[in-house]
Structure 1
Amino acid sequence: MRSIVLLFLIAAAGFGQPAEKTVIVRPTEIDDVLVNPGIGFMTFQRFNGDALNEGLKWTEGYPIVYQEFKGTLENKNHPMTSIAYFRVYWKFLEPEQGKYRFDLLDTALKTAHNRKQTLMLRVAPYGTRNDNDVPDWYRTMMGPEPGLKIAKWRTNPEDPRYAQHFGKLIREIGKRYDGHPDMESVDLAIVGAWGEGAGAADLTEATRRALVDSYLESFSKTPLVMLLTDEKTNKYGISKKPVGWRVDCLGDMGGFSNPNWSHMQDYYPQAIINFGMKDAWKKAPVSLEVCWVMQHWKNKGWDVDYIIDQSLKWHISSFNGKSSAVPDEWWPQVNRWLKKMGYRFVLRKFTYPAAVRSQGKIAFTTWWENKGVAPIYKEFPLALRLKGTQRTEVLLTDADIRTWLPGDNLYDNAVFVPAGMPDGEYELAIGILDPQTRVPAVKLAIAGVDAGGWYPLGKIQISGN
């Protein structure tokens, strides 16, 4: 549903000129959960349609064990997603020095694409077990390393060979995949078990810069997301270019050894401000990961509404629930979360002329409201479509919708009617398109979408051929 009003405007040249009709469209807002690029829940080491992890367990860091596709993209007991997250240890990507298993990334990217997802990536230097140490060739080079300064270090990052070899892998990945249309973002992980950044604050400035620069200098198109680790590392990264941030323990309300300390109350609120990341969300995404799994939150009796509201305050765009089931009783809260997470575009008003001449301009005005908590971070063209009985044309605008922060946004412009458009009545529609395929990719929170993802606005008459 939408309301359409025709206004008669007197031309500025004087009352003797013929009146022009302006159409005013006020679309009807909808309350649906929308699955849109780069936002919402994600799958972890899995893809849309795969079986979830069972119970309270999950896997990470190892090559993906691909499940047979069952023919449906639906995720039982889990929201639909537009993102697949792959976390992989260094040793699997570079089993021999200088020989890279890019096939692991290629297959993940292809599978994500086929499941209507983009791929989020983290290369973790190591884990905590013998089978997820640094690569065998690097361990042979370094030898045993007992008594390291930080408990979650498996190798000394201050040895120049670490930045040289781990940094070279990151640069090779950037050389091959930066700007890949199916690569959603890359975690800027430099040190510590699982790449979570333990001990980053203790690095020398030279080592810190060498590791961080391996990402900053290799990814100019694909968004980077830093682990929220320490003031020196985070402030250095964001001083060089827009980077987002992430944490891996959202929801912890006191589940570790100290009952009077939690990530949600005693670390994240302070670190976001102290590490200089409070406004990072305006230019790059915030991606948060569940601590344990959501069922663990419920078993502990933690307040899911408080956790959700804090994440929204921090401008969350995406959430990794580790491909574990959403507790049945929490679906209302999760759906509320999904309607605010990331961006949510409502077209409030659109005006355009009821008639134009061939090769003339369609001047239009728009008022949008972003009812989410973040902008969109990649370029998606805003376009108009003219659809007639004999010809259809898609007209791209120059709108940069990445600037549409939460709240009201205006965009007024004009597009030319292509030469040779046959006289007649056309349907005018609007859409936000995939930059590669030029078909609608972003769902709007308004009624009336057609089968192709366009939102019809009304009729326009073209004449003068």
Structure 2
Amino acid sequence: MIRKTILLTAALLLTVDLTGTTPISGMEQPMVVHVHKQETQAVLNNPFMGLAPGADHDGPYVQPHRLVYGVVTWKELEPVKGQFNFAGVEKRLHFDEWNARGAKVILRVVLDYSSDTKHIDIPEWLYQEMHGDGAYYDADLGKGFSPNYSNPILIQEHAQLMKKLGERYDHDPRIAFLALGSLGHWGEWHTLQTDTQYIPFPKTEISDLYVHQYLDAFPDKKLLMRRPYPIVGEYGIGLYNDMFGNARSTYDFKDWYENGYRSSLAEADIPAVPEFWKEGPSGGEFGDADTVKGLVKSDKIESVLQQARDTHVSWMGASILADEKFPPAEQANLDRFLNTMGYRFTIPNASFSEQVRQGGLLSVALTIANRGVAPFYYKWPLELSLVDTAGHVAAATITGQDITRWLPGENDVQEFLPVPETLEPGTYTLCVAILDPDTKKPGIDFAMDGRRADGRYELGQVVVTKRPPLRLLF
């Protein structure tokens, strides 16, 4: 009976002192440190956001960027049935060079890319198997061949293409997103429909077949579509607007997804998906290459910034902007655009115990603010760590935070950092970081001071004290 009492008393003491910061009766309560981090307005060159210039340019571009945009035709990918030209595509789009510079590829596979000459963008072998089922066109938008998207052979072979693409790229860290370009001219989900030529666009039951093939092939990549069809909301797909910068076209695009619309192409009522951007990224291209440079002038930039805010833009294809050195005033406007797109994390407030015992749990409360217009779309881990005076990580933990839920605004985070029983007593620096799962190193910059050379951010000092021997009271 005495032994049971001793064990019970010891267990109670261990429970009371579990965190190593809760005082045992008669001991002084540890102080709580409150930190207010200084925010910065510097341009953050972070992954999965910002400018996305052409991948076919071997770079480097003048402006900072962590994305590039690569368009590839099916004809280039599979010139011979069952033989895939991945090496040739990756060489032309400089996959390895961009990867070495920290830039990921947004890939768009197209079946019809208009140009100045008569041509086809599906493989010749497929054209023959389909018996040329489709329509050549020669119009203001250019020349090309629009295949019959309802053709069962095309649908079947497209499924095989997606399967091989997924095997190659779904787990490839060089790929950021997939823009679903398999339908329409340039992959923009529309076909020529004029008084002189009418090319049918597939109904949603057909277009959904193509989308499902992407979903099956790329379960781990974020996808984007040009039209906010119902499948967007069902599967958390993003959207791209290839007319960004043109206010009227952009707000038509916004009206589509916010209020729904009647699609003359699909001959269907398309319901609203106003919160698509919470699950899938919003991106696109500037609509008029001839006017892009002028959009960073002071009389245009406010409209561009508002379009980015209103449509929750994370990235924008803009080779012309990326490869231009601007005068100071226009560069400042471009920097404002770069600071508006995507996510922008900072920590305005942090609270933690001033000291913790060996073997205890350090309680850490953070206010994570997202000053951007969109979340981060991949589940990268949030790390808390203690760094010693030599700059080495002495203790670290991966929290259970889902950073994709950090929407614009402020998010309260409460976490605990386990302190090893063997950690030497002394003063340590509490740090925070978001880790890149592929490199296991800090991968996202915060908009605040305190950045260390290794990419972690300092929050403040914590004293680790020696844990006293367990005293059994009886």
TM-score (norm 2): 0.80
Which residue does 1:280 correspond to in 2?
A: 276
Greater Cα shift, 159-168 or 270-279: 270-279
Does the aligned pair in 2 maintain the 1:251–1:297 contact within 8 Å? no
Does the aligned pair in 1 maintain the 2:50–2:315 contact within 8 Å? yes
Which residue does 1:401 correspond to in 2?
A: 403
- Say yes or no: does 1:251 pair with 2:245: yes
Greater Cα shift, 420-429 or 440-449: 420-429
In 2, Cα distance between the equivalents of 1:354 and 1:436? Answer: 33
1:26-37 matches, within 5 Å, as 26-37=36-47
Distance 1:205 1:405, change over 3 A: closer
Per-residue CA distance 1:58-84 (angstroms, 9 max, x = gap): xxxxxxxxxxxxxxx5x32xx200111
1:179-194 matches, within 5 Å, as 179-194=171-186
In 1, Cα distance between the equivalents of 2:376 and 2:454? Answer: 21
**Structure 1: any 5+ residue segments left out of the alignment?**
1-10, 51-72, 254-261
Which residue does 1:5 correspond to in 2?
A: none
SS in 2 for 1:442: coil
Which residue does 1:139 correspond to in 2?
A: 127
Distance 1:296 1:444, change over 3 A: closer
Which residue does 2:346 correspond to in 1?
A: 346
Provide the aligned length of Structure 1 versus Structure 2.
Answer: 415
Which residue does 1:98 correspond to in 2?
A: 82
Q: Note the C-alpha offset of 1:348.
A: 0.8
1:368-383 matches, within 5 Å, as 368-383=368-383
Which residue does 1:242 correspond to in 2?
A: 236
SS in 1 for 2:453: coil
Q: Note the C-alpha offset of 1:394.
A: 2.8
User: What letter is aligned with 2:176?
Assistant: E
In 1, Cα distance between the equivalents of 2:447 and 2:200? Answer: 43
Does the aligned pair in 2 maintain the 1:27–1:348 contact within 8 Å? yes
For the aligned residue pairs, the C-alpha RMSD in angstroms reads 2.8
Does the aligned pair in 1 maintain the 2:436–2:442 contact within 8 Å? yes
Does the aligned pair in 2 maintain the 1:370–1:404 contact within 8 Å? yes
Distance 1:164 1:436, change over 3 A: same
Identity %, equivalent residues: 25
Does the aligned pair in 2 maintain the 1:119–1:182 contact within 8 Å? yes
SS in 2 for 1:249: strand
In 2, Cα distance between the equivalents of 1:300 and 1:415? Answer: 45
1:18-417 matches, within 5 Å, as 18-46=28-56, 50=59, 73=60, 75-76=61-62, 79-104=63-88, 106-107=90-91, 108-129=94-115, 130-145=118-133, 147=135, 154-199=146-191, 202-228=201-227, 234-239=229-234, 241-252=235-246, 262-265=248-251, 267-273=252-258, 274=260, 275=270, 276-293=272-289, 295-296=291-292, 298=294, 303-324=300-321, 325-326=323-324, 328=327, 330-389=330-389, 392-417=394-419
Distance 1:364 1:299, change over 3 A: closer
Does the aligned pair in 1 maintain the 2:232–2:276 contact within 8 Å? no
In 2, Cα distance between the equivalents of 1:30 and 1:124? Answer: 41
Q: Note the C-alpha offset of 1:215.
A: 0.7
Greater Cα shift, 304-313 or 100-109: 100-109
SS in 2 for 1:161: helix
Which residue does 1:418 correspond to in 2?
A: 420
**Higher Rg of the two aligned structures:** 2
TM-score (norm 1): 0.82
Per-residue CA distance 1:358-394 (angstroms, 9 max, x = gap): 1110111001211100111112211122122476233
In 2, Cα distance between the equivalents of 1:21 and 1:269? Answer: 50
Does the aligned pair in 1 maintain the 2:32–2:354 contact within 8 Å? yes
Distance 1:436 1:419, change over 3 A: farther
In 1, Cα distance between the equivalents of 2:220 and 2:119? Answer: 33
